Amino acid sequence: MRVIGLTGGIGSGKSTVARIFKELGAEVVDADQLAREVVAPGQPALKDVVAAFGPGVIQADGTLDRPRLASIIFRDDVARATLNAITHPRIRS
């Protein structure tokens, strides 16, 4: 089996290429989608994120406030490492 990693900036066509690969029969794993799923409401990782960063990272509807969390983790290397330690093992599994 051949494994291909698809990377690129915003608007560079990653989703289009992934869709084409899928149409051609390739198995496509979307790491961004997996990352969203592991912190969905009711998931253990979301509870761990709240425990680490406080209830301010949750929106009124119970979903993760991504911009708020980003404002924390992109200015603090320790906070980013904490988030990665919570989410990365779950994304990999």
**Domain boundaries in the chain?**
1-29, 39-92
pLDDT surpassing 90 at residue 31: no
- Chain segment 12-28, per-residue pLDDT in tens: 999 999 999 999 999 99
Q: What is the pTM of this model?
A: 0.80
pLDDT computed for residue 32 by the predictor: 87
- For every residue of the chain, DSSP letters joined together read ---------TTSSHHHHHHHHHHTT-----HHHHHHHHTSTT-HHHHHHHHHH-GGGB-TTSSB-HHHHHHHHTS-HHHHHHHHHHHHHHHH-
| Mean pLDDT taken over the chain | 95
pLDDT computed for residue 59 by the predictor: 98
- Chain segment 55-92, per-residue pLDDT in tens: 999 999 999 999 999 999 999 999 999 999 999 999 99
